[in-house]
Amino acid sequence: MAAHSAGNPAQASRAPVEVQKVALGDPVNRSRDIAYETDLYCLTLAVYFEGGSTDESEEGQRHIAQVVAERAKANRKIWGGNKICDVVFYKRGKVCQFSFACLAIEKRTARGGKAWAYSMQIARDELEGRSGLEDRLLRYYMNAALTPPKNACRFRKEFVPVVQAGRHEFFREATRAERRALEKAEHEECKKYEASLKKKKQARNTKIAKSARKDAKLAKKTAPAKANNAVTAARKSAVAAAKQAGPAAQKKAAPRAVAKR
């Protein structure tokens, strides 16, 4: 640059600038249905973690996919609305609609493999209407073996069982008449829950009784000492009062203190 500045500006030459074209990425595929792919992924997550990863049967996985889809179709706020992903990850307070959604991200991230691919195919069949299942408005399911008696009892009293598929039992909502009948019926899970409450109550009462016996025993041991302390305190109080009242009162107070012994 210094050599060009010293010479005649008119004779200065410039090297041609090579313009490099910016390489574009992959061309945009406008045929992709991003909304469908998103729904497919979220539904696959639900099928995989609610059933596929635990070796649930094909029928059980298909019914799980159906429940998720039915909740989205119902478009209820209590279930997350009308989008598959919103339903799958709906959370109220600290409770997730589907338990896996409350796990840490690393624990609810699929690693691929045959089980994932299998769950994805089941999710795809559900979204595209190829599940082969009857439309029975199944919107609830429960794995009785893993459900606490309290929750299982609530299920029995609120929902109508429709089908057992694999490890899960699937339910539909009850009519008013059916709900009354369910509430009056005796359910094994409710008996277990009542028995557990009774056992806890007995354990609590036993603990209270044991504590009461311990306190009574301690009180019995300390009673004589407390009585002696009370007599001594009374004597001191009488003497102090007599001193304040004068010599005549002291003579009267002393016999009374002796009489209380």
What pLDDT sits at residue 106? 83
**What is the tens place of the pLDDT at every residue in 195-207?**
999 988 888 888 8
Residue 144 reports pLDDT greater than 50 = yes
Distance between alpha carbon 87 and the CA centroid of its chain, in Å?
16
pLDDT at 8 over 70: no
Are the CB atoms for 68 and 84 separated by under 8 Å?
A: yes
Higher-confidence residue of 213 and 157: namely 157
Span 85-92, average pLDDT: 95
251 contacts: CB under 8 Å, gap ≥ 6? none
Q: What is the pLDDT of residues 210-225, one digit of tens each?
A: 887 887 777 777 767 6
The mean pLDDT of 158-163, rounded to a whole number, is: 95
Length of the chain: 261
Euclidean distance between CA atoms 70 and 126, whole angstroms: 10
pLDDT for residue 231 is more than 70: no
DSSP string across the chain = -HHHHHS-GGG---PPP-PPPPPP-SPP-TT--HHHHHHHHHHHHHHHHHTGGGT--HHHHHHHHHHHHHHHHHTBGGGTBS-HHHHHT-EETTEESSGGGGS-GGGSS---SHHHHHHHHHHHHHHTT-S--------EEE-GGGS-HHHHHHHHHHEEEEEEETTEEEEEEPPHHHHHHHHHS--HHHHHHHHHHHHHHHHHHHHHHHHHHHHHHHHHHHHHHHHHHHHHHHHHHHHHHHHHH-HHHHHHHHHHHHHT-
Q: Output the pLDDT for position 12.
A: 44
- Rounded to the nearest angstrom, the gap between the alpha carbon of residue 183 and the centroid of all alpha carbons in its chain is 25
* In contact, 253 and 239? CB cutoff 8 Å: yes
pLDDT tens digits, 166-191:
999 999 999 999 999 999 999 999 99
pLDDT value for 259:
46
Residue 223 CA to residue 17 CA, distance in Å, equals 107
pLDDT for 153: 95
Evaluate if residue 120 carries a pLDDT over 60: yes
Q: How far, in Å, CA of 157 to CA of 56, rounded? A: 26
Q: Which range has the worst mean pLDDT, 5-14, 64-73, 251-260?
A: 5-14
Residue 258's pLDDT band (cuts 50, 70, 90): very low
Output the pLDDT for position 221.
74
Q: Which two tokens stand for residue 105?
A: 């991200």
CA distance 261 to 240: 17
Alpha-carbon torsion (186, 192, 196, 199), positive or negative = positive
Asked whether residue 256 carries a pLDDT value surpassing 70, the answer given is no
Return the pLDDT at 72. 96
pLDDT above 70: residue 17:
no
- For range 13-34, the mean pLDDT: 61
pLDDT the model gives residue 105: 86
Mean pLDDT along residues 41-50: 95
Q: Identify the residue with better confidence: 82 or 19.
A: 82
Cα distance between residue 118 and residue 52, in whole Å: 8
Mean pLDDT of the chain: 82
Residues 6+ away with beta carbon under 8 Å from 139: 67, 70, 71, 74, 171, 172, 173
Pairing of strands 168-173, 95-96: unpaired
Q: Which of 32-36, 38-42, 166-170, 235-239 has the lowest mean pLDDT?
A: 235-239
Its sign, for the CA torsion 72, 108, 55, 173, is negative
